Chains A and B, each alone.
Chain A
């Protein structure tokens, strides 16, 4: 059972455009939603994260939009640059009793930003 569904699998955007990646989750107990960026040969790097008590969080060119009722969240990359070309993963986790904590990842989106 895939608990976090991510789309699209791949995305091509022109430099300066907006990249939008969507994720949907099933487990309403999830309470932490990070996005990771991964370059070839590297481990994932935390980009930005949100908790369900806010509907939007912005850090620089990256914005997370969160819709709790629809169980969806998305990453918007404004003014996309060729250096943003990477694989992006959404994830979700729940804190069960304060000691159980694991990330459930989406399948990833390969973003290509053309110059």
Chain B
């Protein structure tokens, strides 16, 4: 089975721009979660989508948003980028929402200049 794929792998954006990241979950998985990883804050939960519905949300500003499509693929969007948004953005998929293992993709490295 193919793993979780994320595109693009690397991005460089300018402060004030917006960015869209994409995640394709493992085939058959319906839940997608997004995490931000930085050296200072570590891994922080952004949000989870299950069956196209946002099930849970972390403590991030409204500039961070996401959505999930009927084929379970997910996108996250960050508007009005700030320097502090530079991070590795990880997507994780699981079969369902709840007691299921989460499998992570390789991440998208976003650099904001």
The answer to whether B64 has its CB under 8 Å from any CB of chain A is no
Residues 63-113 of A at the B interface (beta carbon under 8 Å): 89, 91, 95, 98-108
Interface size class of A (residues with CB under 8 A): 20 to 34
The interface of chain B, by Cβ under 8 A from chain A, is 4, 31, 33, 35, 42-45, 48, 50, 55-56, 58, 90, 92, 97-99, 101-107
The interface of chain A, by Cβ under 8 A from chain B, is 32, 34, 36, 41-46, 49, 89, 91, 95, 98-108
Q: How far is the CA of A43 from the CA of B4 in the complex (A)?
A: 10
**SS class, residues of chain B in contact with chain A:** strand
- Say whether B98 contacts A98, CB under 8 Å: yes
From residue B21, how far is it (CB to closest CB) to chain A in Å? Answer: 13
| The 4 A-B residue pairs with the shortest CB-CB distance in the complex, in nearest-first order | A43-B104, A105-B43, A102-B45, A107-B42
B35 partner residues in chain A, CB cutoff 8 A? 103
